[in-house]
Structure 1
Amino acid sequence: MTCILILMRHAKSSWAEPAMADHNRPLNKRGKRSARALGDWLRGHDHVPDQILCSSATRAQLTCQGLELGLPAPAVPALYHAEPGAMLQVLQKATGRCVLMIGHNPGIAEFADRLVQTAPDHDRFGDYPTGATLVASFDVPGWADVAWNTGQVIDFVIPRELTD
């Protein structure tokens, strides 16, 4: 079976209230616009998940809602500021064939880099800006068999390419 991972960093969050707890920060206007554009991009490229694994942070949850994919997105507290090893453990328990995972830097950038055999030829892959989205395939029987350096890049995009 081929498993498809859509790995997305949350869209741009608001710092309008600097004293607000990090976990509770919402999206700013650009973030909301980026989430809609990313949802359109996913549908337009037939990268539509059948399972979503989303950080419990407000900005990640709002990114997921903004994609308008019509799927439930239960909060996964383990993905909030997760390190790559923790993200891999969450992914290995996935049940869908095409899984969308929404998380945070710096962990998500390292996770993306460690998952794929060859990084995409894109100057923003290394820093994984807000909204960055990797689509990768894994030729494995199931998610429990995914290991480092086994993914093949299908696509990579950042919101600025979709909204400017």
Structure 2
Amino acid sequence: MPKPAPRSRQGTMKRLYLLRHTKSSWKEDDLSDHERPLAPRGRRAAPPIGVYLRDHAILPDLVLASSARRTRETWELVSLMLPKPPDVLYEDKLYLADAAEIMARLRKVDHDVDSVLIVGHNPGLQELAERLFGDGDAGALAKLTAKFPTGGLALYQFDIERWDELVPGIGKLTDFVVPRDLV
């Protein structure tokens, strides 16, 4: 009996978008860090990110966001610009999560989900973005490693079939944008 042909991996692709919340306010001293709102600058910066996503047909299947007020507000303003906002899960474990914690969460995403957008915090997002890089836009990588500012958005592709196959060094960075580039 002949051996079955190996399964082709051609056409399998997962996409990941890492979005750092936009600028938050430090004006209210009595609020916990978790409850800090967006600053006026952050409120202005979020909608152009949504326009960028819409104009580039980037509509993630799932959004995973930190439960912090500033990430919730960022996503709410970004999603207003999208034709059909995807489901969002606000998760306490993503609040100030490090790269390993974010990676562990991504590995648990259902394999039927092809694209995920994470709304989170630094330094975890920048660390993850740097660890995932294996190929792609060198200019975007240089910009990302220099600084992953508030409102920064890193776009990755992976030649994997399941999220539990995600490991460092296999991502293709396709773009890195910051709010000042979008206005």
- Please indicate, yes or no, whether the TM-score normalized by the shorter chain is above 0.5: yes
Which residue matches 2:172?
152
Give the aligned CA root-mean-square deviation in angstroms. Answer: 1.3
Q: Which residue of 1 aligns with 2:64?
A: 53
- Any idea what SS the aligned residue of 1:32 has? helix
**What aligned pairs does 1:74-113 form with structure 2 within 5 A after superposition?**
74-95=89-110, 96-113=113-130
Pick from 130, 135, 144 the counterpart of residue 125 of structure 1. Answer: 144
Q: Give 1 or 2 for the bigger CA radius of gyration.
A: 2
Q: Distance in 2 between matches of 1:120 and 1:108?
A: 18
Number of equivalences: 163
* Ranges in structure 2 where 5+ consecutive residues have no aligned partner: 1-11
Q: TM-score, normalised by structure 1?
A: 0.94
Encode CA deviations 1:107-154: one digit per residue, 9 max, x unaligned. 111110001114641454122000110110000011110100100011
Report if aligned partners of 1:120, 1:156 keep a CA contact under 8 Å in 2: no
Counterpart AA for 1:78: K
Deviates further, 92-101 or 37-46: 92-101
Stretches of structure 1 that go unaligned for 5 or more consecutive residues are: none
Normalised to the residue count of structure 2, the TM-score between the two structures is 0.85
Between the aligned residues of both structures, percent identity stands at: 37
Whole-Å Cα distance in 2 between the matches of residues 45 and 156 of structure 1?
13
Q: Which residue of 1 aligns with 2:163?
A: 143
